[in-house]
Structure 1
Amino acid sequence: MHQIQQERITAFNEALRQQQEAAERRRQLIFTLPNDGGDLEFVEIRKGTLNLNGREIHLAAFRMSKYPITQRQYQAIMGNNPSDFKGDLDCPVERVSWNDAKAFCKKLSQEPVMAGQKVYLPSEAQWEYACRAGTTTKFWFGNSDNDLGKHAWYDGNSGRRTHSVYEKAKEHENFWGLVDMHGHVWEWCADNWTNNTNELPNDGTRLTKGGNSSLHPIRSGLCNESTGNCRASYRGYFSSVDYYFYLGFQVVLVV
């Protein structure tokens, strides 16, 4: 009996230790921004392989922001809020050009809270790998267009406007813990634009040699788009200086 009780105590202590370690890892992924910017939370993305149009891309581990960058976060770092859909600072920031998004990354990287860690826009490969979360279907939750309304903001349920990233976070969270990877706002990627995805680097880093350096990819779809444009594989592009009410972004940290 004494041995059984001891084994239970040992098992309990081990479970508690693992919970504490997991909580500490999560804590290390949350950065409290200055100027009332709230918390910027990241998710650990493990290394792995993305099948992109029949080609394997092998990605190193990285960290990706759990939500699209919000108006609150952007305003705290950049000092302004360019968004059309104002009223709730926890909505995604939009009307952000690629140049603006890059400037945000640079400025955030210089904040003491980041402790020297460099912030970047995701590469296209990183974005799609994170969006799919280990799946190969049209959306991370499957192939059914009818289910998109349960897991994303698009033209069928959004009222053609943005919403707080926390409003339906549980329903919109993919298998790796990322929210709003389909719909809501277009999200900038770091690469030069290319029509041919075979030009994207085999290691999942951004395309900088080749492609069109004046144009850059967008992913995700948006709150007033149909289901087809919200697919994990759907690609579009705009120029470096374009900004519209549906252009936003997420950020990554290199591990």
Structure 2
Amino acid sequence: MPLLFATPLLAEQSAIRQASAQPPTDKSLSAELGSVCNPRADTGPEMVLIAAGDFKMGSPEGEAGRYDDESPQHAVTISRPFALGRCEVTVGEFRRFVEATAYKTSAERGAGCRSLDKTTNSWKENPALNWRNPGFAPYDERHPVVCVSWDDAQAYIAWLNRELGLPANTYRLPSEAEWEYAARAGSDTAYFWGDAEQCGFANGADQTTKQSNSDLIDKAWTFADCSDGFAFTAPVASLQANGFGLFDTTGNAVEWVQDCWHDKYDGAPKDGSAWEPGTCEQRALRGGSWLYRPSNLRSAYRGRGRPDEANDGTGFRLARTL
């Protein structure tokens, strides 16, 4: 059973309590839990302690909606316990970093943030968009920060470790294997909740999304038949947690991980470590975003992007080395 802690692990007075594997049963409880994911500036984010263990990474050949880059499915042993953020990094948390450092994100220094263009129905970089304004609302302090690049995530992590007086790689991005192990939370189904529709579990493309983006999305796009009430990002912890007590491990914001991108898993590490040989022109992304079709919310789904690329559905979640 994972553990939760809301203060830095190295502090002897840190309160550690068992995480409940039961998801919230109503939105008021969910909102109360989500508020814990916005800690004071003098504490680290709330984390879930993930025990070492084994799992099968990738998708089996018969899984509906799978892609070749999820192959071959292979056994991985997470050899050491680690901690993972209970929620995705929020706008409020990222704002504290920017205000403390005057940091300019990749989108603010470059071509902007990628979003769907109304005139061409294709993805384009929009120089007017960035983490402060991703082009949709509501988007407030409790929403996951988006329009941030892998480089931006690394800058935030370096600042957080300095701010808390921790060694340089204490807080970090999870490896791709750590991410999938934690996102599955012991499940071996396509989705961590099984095979039912996503609503209640993941903020992805559903009828609410369709109604609010009908002029943007290609008619071939698929949507869940249900509605979760969120057309774009949702406040963290608005939907049900997985079996490890982690929120939004799929949907809401797709998350940067540490690994370089590889087209398949041939030769991938078997111990849960990040796969980083080569020049890393692209980094891996995991989990779906608010705009992802249902089949792309599967636990095995993978994405990629340039380290300096920002997207209106892309954010990150912190891991912590123990």
Name the SS for the 2:158 alignment partner.
helix
- Contiguous gaps of at least 5 residues in structure 2: 1-13, 19-35, 58-71, 104-130, 207-227
Change (3 A) 1:63 1:83: farther
Name the SS for the 1:198 alignment partner.
coil
Name the SS for the 2:190 alignment partner.
coil
After TM superposition, the score normalised by the length of structure 1 is 0.80
Query: Of the candidates 203, 223, 246, which is equivalent to residue 153 of structure 1?
Result: 203
User: Which position in structure 1 is the counterpart of 2:276?
Assistant: 208
Residue pair 2:38, 2:142 contacting (<8 A) in 1 also: no
Name the SS for the 1:141 alignment partner.
coil
Residue pair 1:191, 1:207 contacting (<8 A) in 2 also: yes
User: Which position in structure 2 is the counterpart of 1:192?
Assistant: 260
Which is worse superposed, 152-161 or 99-108? Answer: 152-161
Query: Of the candidates 8, 12, 15, which is equivalent to residue 24 of structure 1?
Result: 15
Which is worse superposed, 97-106 or 109-118? Answer: 109-118
Which is worse superposed, 68-77 or 48-57? Answer: 48-57
> How do 1:70-219 residues align onto structure 2 when only pairs under 5 Å count?
70-79=90-99, 81-84=131-134, 85=136, 87-112=139-164, 118-144=170-196, 146=197, 148-156=198-206, 157=228, 159-168=230-239, 171=240, 173-210=241-278, 213-219=280-286
User: Which position in structure 2 is the counterpart of 1:249?
Assistant: 316
Aligned residues: 224
How many Å separate the matches in 2 of 1:158 and 1:184? Answer: 12
Name the amino acid aligned to 2:81.
A
Name the amino acid aligned to 1:209.
P
Change (3 A) 1:70 1:133: same
Query: Of the candidates 72, 76, 100, which is equivalent to residue 57 of structure 1?
Result: 76
Shift of residue 116, structure 1, vs aligned partner: 7.2
User: Which position in structure 2 is the counterpart of 1:13?
Assistant: none
How many Å separate the matches in 1 of 2:87 and 2:162? Answer: 21
Residue pair 2:38, 2:90 contacting (<8 A) in 1 also: no
User: Which position in structure 2 is the counterpart of 1:45?
Assistant: 50
For residues 96-149 of structure 1, the C-alpha deviation after alignment (integer angstroms, 9 at most, x for no partner) is: 0011011111111111265877111111000000000011001111023x2x11
For residues 139-181 of structure 1, the C-alpha deviation after alignment (integer angstroms, 9 at most, x for no partner) is: 111023x2x112110111354311110333xx2x000010011
Name the SS for the 1:237 alignment partner.
strand
How many Å separate the matches in 2 of 1:184 and 1:51? Answer: 25
Q: Percent identity?
A: 26
After TM superposition, the score normalised by the length of structure 2 is 0.64
User: Which position in structure 1 is the counterpart of 2:304?
Assistant: 237
For residues 67-91 of structure 1, the C-alpha deviation after alignment (integer angstroms, 9 at most, x for no partner) is: 0100001111233754514642100
Residue pair 1:109, 1:119 contacting (<8 A) in 2 also: yes
How many Å separate the matches in 1 of 2:234 and 2:84? Answer: 20
How many Å separate the matches in 2 of 1:162 and 1:33? Answer: 23
Name the amino acid aligned to 1:24.
A
For residues 22-41 of structure 1, the C-alpha deviation after alignment (integer angstroms, 9 at most, x for no partner) is: x93149x9894428xx8620
User: Which position in structure 2 is the counterpart of 1:16?
Assistant: none
How many Å separate the matches in 1 of 2:311 and 2:317? Answer: 16
Change (3 A) 1:87 1:30: closer
How many Å separate the matches in 2 of 1:30 and 1:181? Answer: 14
Change (3 A) 1:39 1:91: farther
Shift of residue 254, structure 1, vs aligned partner: 1.0
Name the amino acid aligned to 2:265.
T
Instruction: Say which one has the larger Rg.
Output: 1
Name the SS for the 2:16 alignment partner.
helix
Change (3 A) 1:245 1:30: closer
How many Å separate the matches in 2 of 1:63 and 1:199? Answer: 26
